[in-house]
Amino acid sequence: MRLSRPRTTTGRPRRNSATSDADSRVPRYLQVASVLRRRLRDGVWSVGEKIATLEELEREFDVARVTVRQAIELLQSEGLLESQQGRGTFVTNTVDHRRWLALATDWESLIAGIRENVPYPLPAGLAGTPRIEPGEGRPAAAYRFLRSLQKRGDEPFGYARVHLARDIFRRAPKQFTSRAALVVLAEMKDIEIARAHQTLTIGTADIETAKLLGIGLSAPTAEARCVVTDADGVAIYVGEISYRGDCVSLDIELRGKVAPKPSRGATGPRLAGPARRR
């Protein structure tokens, strides 16, 4: 039996089939935009600087011109790039400068950070029951489902889905629909909060989230999940919030500031801290 030779192609090199299968789940223009967004974050191009040309990006990523244009248009919609006819595409903002939302890592900071937030209510839609993982408490008898957008000015940055124990919601329905539900809950003197746990994961925007937050499909998001249980171990609050990935930062102090070396003639060690007034 005579075996035929593998067929060869001319022009651009063929992409690895395994890589192609994995990448096919995400549109190519989103993949290109993701790489360019990371380069902006890493400082490859500074504000005011011209980025690579369409031809260069087309060759580098082995994609069609229309794919590169779609990626550029997405970053333009995010306020990161600006195309000038006959001149090229320039950086107008950096990703890091847009990360104004610092996620809290303790209860007091969390409540203080959202105390003045005004939710923009959305129709509840299909509520279902909240997902409660082992160790997060036992479910309440019934829940009230609340959906809302969080905005900074006119720009949405967070999409909240909250399941609140129905008996608690009925105590202050107007408050829970006009203020951040977690803040109202924290201010209730007759409710003893035994535990509040928050988990942060990295996700991507689905069709609904992308539309509500004004970002591209599969754009990066920060997914915050908060579960609050009362003294009886009931999960009275289960909140899922999707934040735009381009506005979120998480800062954690791992160690204290290094104490300065003692000056000559000092009789003992100096502790790090604010300088004393003389």
- Of all residues in the chain, what percent carry a pLDDT higher than 90? 58
CA dihedral 63, 65, 66, 71 (to 10 degrees): 70
- Whether the pLDDT of residue 67 is over 90: the answer is yes
**Distances in Å between the alpha carbon of 250 and those of 75, 81, 99, 170?**
23, 25, 10, 34
- Whether the pLDDT of residue 96 is over 80: the answer is no
Angle formed at CA 44 by CA 22 and CA 67, multiple of 5 degrees = 40
Q: So what's the pLDDT on residue 153?
A: 84
Dist. CA 273–CA 256, nearest whole Å: 10
Mean pLDDT of 163-180: 97
User: Residue 251: phi, psi to the nearest 5?
Assistant: -110, 125
Mean pLDDT of 229-238: 98
Dist. CA 76–CA 102, nearest whole Å: 24
- Whether the pLDDT of residue 278 is over 50: the answer is no
Please choose, from the candidates 100, 208, 80, 75, the residue with its C-alpha nearest in 3D space to the C-alpha of residue 153.
100
**Distances in Å between the alpha carbon of 263 and those of 39, 276, 277, 278?**
44, 16, 18, 17
Q: So what's the pLDDT on residue 124?
A: 86
Mean pLDDT of 201-227: 92
Dist. CA 202–CA 222, nearest whole Å: 5
Mean pLDDT of 8-37: 61
Q: In 172-183, which positions are buried (b, 16+ CB within 10 angstroms) versus exposed (e)?
A: beebbeebbbbb
Q: So what's the pLDDT on residue 260?
A: 58
Least confident of 46-60, 98-112, 124-138: 98-112
Q: So what's the pLDDT on residue 246?
A: 82
Domains of the chain as residue ranges with CATH: 17-96 (1.10.10.10), 99-249 (3.40.1410.10)
Q: So what's the pLDDT on residue 100?
A: 78
- Whether the pLDDT of residue 270 is over 60: the answer is no
- Whether the pLDDT of residue 112 is over 60: the answer is yes
- Whether the pLDDT of residue 12 is over 80: the answer is no
Q: Which residue has the higher pLDDT, 133 or 155?
A: 133
> At 24, is the pLDDT very low, low, confident or very high (cuts 50, 70, 90)?
low
Q: So what's the pLDDT on residue 128?
A: 83
- Of all residues in the chain, what percent carry a pLDDT higher than 70? 82
- Whether the pLDDT of residue 137 is over 50: the answer is yes
Half-sphere exposure of 158 (CA within 13 A, CB side): 29
- Whether the pLDDT of residue 13 is over 70: the answer is no
**Alpha carbon 170 to chain centroid, angstroms:** 31
3-class DSSP state of 133: coil
* Contacting residues for 246 by C-beta, under 8 A, at least 6 apart: 37, 78, 95, 98, 99, 215, 219, 220
Q: Do 185 and 224 contact (CB within 8 A), yes or no?
A: no
> Tokens in use for 100?
């104004």
- Whether the pLDDT of residue 212 is over 70: the answer is yes
Q: So what's the pLDDT on residue 97?
A: 60
